Structure formats: C-alpha cells, structure tokens
Amino acid sequence: MKTSNYLLATVRQVPADVEIVSHRLMLRAGMIRQLASGIYNWLPTGLRVLNKVENIVREEMNRSGAQEVLMPSVQPAEIWRESGRWDFFGPELLRFKDRHDRDFCLGPTHEEVITTLINNEVHSYRQIPANFYQMQWKFRDEVRPRFGVMRCREFLMKDAYSFDVDRMGMEKSYHVMYDAYRRIFDRLGLDYVAVEADSGAIGGSVSHEFHVLADSGEDGIGVNSNAGFASNIELVQLPRSSAQRNPPSQPIRTVDTPNVRTIEQLCDSLDVAADITLKTLLVQGEKQPVAMVVRGDHELNLLKVEKIQGVAVPIQFLSPQEVAAEVDAEVGSIGPVNLTSSSDGSEIRIVADYSTEPMSDFVCGANTSEKHYVGVNWERDLGNVEFADLRKAVDGDPCPGTPEENLTVKRGIEVGHVFQLGTKYSEAFGATCIDTDGKNAIMWMGCYGIGVSRIVAAAIEQNHDAAGIIWPDSIAPFSVCVVPINYHQSDTVAKLSDQIHDRLITAGLEVLLDDRDDRAGVKFKDMDLLGIPHRLVVSDRTAANGEIEYKHRIDEQAIYLPIESLEAEMLTRVQSG
C-alpha cells in the first residue's frame, strides 16, 4: 500500500473533551471518527487493526471447537418478554417499532436469540456439547458513552454460547473457553489478568472477567500474587475489624460548616483527615429510607448494599430534594446522630460499615444544613446501629482467604467475560434435549463475550509513548513502513522503494510505503504516530552501499541491513500473530 492511495487521515488536534490517551491517539492516527455520541466510523487504519483482533479471536474460537454463526442485530420484543429482560434491561436497551407497530430492539447481547434458535435445532444429547459464536455489532444505549470506542454505544463483540446436557458438561465447556481466552489475550500481546467477577444483568453464578491492566481502567482489581488472588474489587468481602475502639476523649459539639457539600470540603474546613469522618447516604428501603454509613475516605459498594435486607433493589439513592423532604437538611450535612424522619419523627435505620466500628471522636453531619458534629462516639451519642460489610476494598485491605496478606488495587479494562449461565435461559425458553435415558432434559448453558473493538483501545493504553502508538506485531495495521528520502527527486530512491515495497509484500508482509512529497521529518512523525512496528528508510546514501536503514518503533538507534537479503531479515524480525 502506498500512502498516495491511502486515507492516512492523521491529525494534530483532537476535541477538548477527549479524556484518555487511546481515544486521542485513535483520532490522531486516523483510525476512527465519531458520527454521533458513542457511535463511530472506522477508517482504513482502524479497521485493519480491528480485523486483526477479530481474526485472532476467530482462529482461537475455531481451534476450541466452537462454530461460527451470525444472528440478527434487530431482535423482536417477544423473546425479551419471554426471558423477562424487556423490563429488567432498562434504558440501555434501544427499542423501536416497525411499520406494523410491533416492538423491536437493537441487540445488546444474544442469549434470547441463541436459545430460541438452538431449541429448534438441537433435539438430542448426540448433537451437544456445542458452542456457537458470532462477531456482531451490539448496541447498548450507555448512560455515559466516553473514552472513544472503549465505552461506546455501538461496538463489536464476539459472543459465544455453549449448550450441554448437565452441569458437569457446562463446567467443561466453560474451562475450554477460559483456556481459549488465555490463548487469545496472549496472542494479542496484552498484559492481562483473569479475575473472579459478578454476573450482573446476564445472570448465572460462576464468572470470570479478563482485564487489561491500565491506569485508565474503569474497574478496580484486587490482587495478591503471593496468595494467587485476583478479583474485581466489587466482589472482595471484608471482615469485621478486630481493632479495639478507644474510649471517648471529647465531648460532642456542633460546628458551623458553611458551603461544605463534600468530604473534601469538610476536611479542609475543619482541618481533619477523611478517615475520622463519616459519610452518610440515604437509599430507598422497602418501607422507609435506610442510611448507609461509610468512612469519609471509603466508597460504598453497591453490590453489598443490595444484599442488605430491607433495601430496595435496584438501589435508588434519595435525590437531594427527597433528602431535604425526609430529614430537613442538605445532603452534605446528613449524619447518623438523631437521624429521624421529619414527617413522623421516627428513627431512620442506620447500617454502618465494619471499618467505622472501631472509630471514636469522629466527625459527621448534624442533620441541620451547614452544620456538623465533632467528637462523636458510638453508644454514647447514638442509638441503634447495625454494622455490616458495605464498602469497596482499598489498597492494604486483607486478602480474602489469606488475611495475613494485603491486597493491592490495580485498574483494569474489562475485555472479556465468561459466565456459567446454568439453566436460566433454557428454562425460560423450555430449551430441552433428549438425554441418554431418553428423557427430556433442560440444557445447561454458558456464555462468553469479548469486546473486540474495546481491545483495540485497550491495546493502545498499554502500548504507546509520547510520539504515538506502538503496536504489537500481531495487531499492527501494517508491520513494515518504508520511508523514502527524496522519493520525488531521486529516481534511485523511488525505484528502490517501490521494489522493496513489492518484494516484502510478495514475502507475505503488510507494507506501507510513504510516497508523499513531504519532508522526511513529517513522514517519521506520522509513522511513529501510527505505531507501525518496523521502519525502513531508503536514501541515496545507504543505497549506494547496498544497504537500508532499519529501526524498530521502540529502538533508539537504527541499524543497516543488506538490501539483497531484506525479505529474510524482515521475516525474522516481524513476529506473526
């Protein structure tokens, strides 16, 4: 490929709201362009990478014995009503009507479609185990599309669904997929971890997520390599604290805290550390609101709050207006001391995190706007409080199962997710097959997703420098770029560059020849931005010696290779995916 025939589309400037490096580099390198919020065009360079990722995923899925199918992206509402998810999925499901006024949606996932399909095609245990997968564009009307193709509304997913006669079969299929995922992420050249995870809206019990480690990741991963532990921090259970509580040493006092709305402002205004403050949040309960209390420097874990008896699920926080109506104070001034409902004076139930139990002489809201209490102590100043595990784990928390070890919290980007679904969907659709005893048996399912388009962004998060992207060979848009110096001025350079381009392509390499009439510096910058791993520079000077300059994208120094044996030299340098 020559740049004169290619839409390079590199740019210097990106919109001001671009937050993370992969989004910026994908725009700058001419890989993607936004059409609408969270909806993107893929330009030639972007699509070349996307196709590479897709091919690696496809090859490993095929190697694992899975069979490729293709299901429609437009799905009728009936099957979603049958599974109960038409209501449960909420506004992420994009719904519309056809001309006959029938309800449809754009598929955010395909459990409903595959289960109805396979129910009609598979009748006997002899036809399974089987695993069906597809590459399909999904649509999820994300509440906050951001980070480019990392969290967008239309994205390419590989989704797979396994069918077995019993639980043991399902577990076996799950492990086959787990191993295939390891091979996929190894081949993609990514630094990743497989972690225990929550099953969320998909349902089922056992599940693992595959995370690419990167500071921009939206998920927290708790790890301890000594204990061989890795888990999404949402799932990390924390024990009751064994620390002793000191006796009260201060009287309780009310202090003015004008304009204080956040813990940070509170700490600034009173000059105290966040870990001696309490944060109180009101959630809807089955009858009355319930107060959730965590230390000022901790965050509530919603999965844990959901499990507290009497809390309404899905969780709804009271809005600032609802809080004002319920307790007659602003959100930032709520606290557990004398927390009563202003309507009938009844006490509001308080559930506090285990880590607050050993606290004494602490600071919390006074349930009057712009006032806080200091020197607060459990028992002396408060009535009934329940203690429970409510918060997200942080660095230094005990490792579950090995409490003498501490957790380190890393950031991760979820690129894959495997679930043991069990019989949730097969029961909803009556998907059965005849088992070995001739009886009708409900099939056991697993489902397995990979965010193919998200991987492109995740790979950039892990592989870049100040000059641009640094692609692993396995997914580079081109493996070699040829940069001629004076292509339009020197016949020798032009001929040699064309010849090298053709020879390397014949040898099976993907080559981009930058034949633009531009300064070498401009071309070097663009090729570095694009992240092409191997660079050859053709000039009159080196050609006269029968040599060509070679540099890997991450090398400081160039070396010189003999032109004669260039194919062999380059084939040993470029690692095939």
Contacting residues toward ligand ATP, per CB under 6 A: 109, 140, 142, 151-152, 155, 157, 200, 202, 414-417, 449, 451, 454
Nearest distance from residue 152's CB to ligand ATP, in Å? 5
Q: Rounded distance, CA 408 to CA 230, Å?
A: 10
Nearest distance from residue 237's CB to ligand ATP, in Å? 20
Query: Residue 132 contacts by C-beta under 8 Å, 6 or more apart in sequence?
Result: 66, 67, 68, 69, 114, 118, 160, 161, 163
Q: Which is nearer to ligand ATP, 20 or 500 (CB)?
A: 20
Nearest distance from residue 16's CB to ligand ATP, in Å? 22
Question: How far from the centroid of its chain's Cα atoms is residue 116's Cα?
Answer: 29
Q: Which residue is nearest to ligand ATP (CB)?
A: 451
Q: Which is nearer to ligand ATP, 291 or 457 (CB)?
A: 457
Give me the count of residues in the chain: 577
* CB crowding 195-233: b at 16 or more within 10 Å, else e: bbbebeebbbebbbbbbbbbebbebbbbbbeebebbbbb
Which residue in 173, 126, 123 sits closest to 436, CA to CA? 126
Nearest distance from residue 575's CB to ligand ATP, in Å? 25
Q: Which is nearer to ligand ATP, 32 or 364 (CB)?
A: 32
Q: Which is nearer to ligand ATP, 457 or 566 (CB)?
A: 457
Residue 576 carries which side chain, given as an amino acid letter? Answer: S
Nearest distance from residue 371's CB to ligand ATP, in Å? 39
Q: Measured between alpha carbons, how far apart are the two ends of the chain, in Å?
A: 20
Q: Rounded distance, CA 122 to CA 109, Å?
A: 21
Nearest distance from residue 198's CB to ligand ATP, in Å? 9
Residue 340: other Cβ atoms inside 10 A:
14
Coil/strand/helix, residue 242:
coil
Residue 54 half-sphere exposure toward CB, CA atoms < 13 A: 17
Nearest distance from residue 523's CB to ligand ATP, in Å? 33
Q: Which is nearer to ligand ATP, 158 or 553 (CB)?
A: 158
Q: Which is nearer to ligand ATP, 151 or 523 (CB)?
A: 151
Query: Residue 193 contacts by C-beta under 8 Å, 6 or more apart in sequence?
Result: 210, 211, 213, 221, 223, 230, 412
Coil/strand/helix, residue 50:
helix
Nearest distance from residue 466's CB to ligand ATP, in Å? 26
Q: Which is nearer to ligand ATP, 140 or 349 (CB)?
A: 140
Q: Which is nearer to ligand ATP, 165 or 447 (CB)?
A: 447
Query: What is the DSSP code string of 110-174?
Result: -HHHHHHHHHHH--BGGG-SEEEEEEEEEE---SS-BTTTTB-SEEEEEEEEEEESSHHHHHHHH
Nearest distance from residue 210's CB to ligand ATP, in Å? 7
Q: Which is nearer to ligand ATP, 189 or 248 (CB)?
A: 189
Q: Rounded distance, CA 430 to CA 433, Å?
A: 10
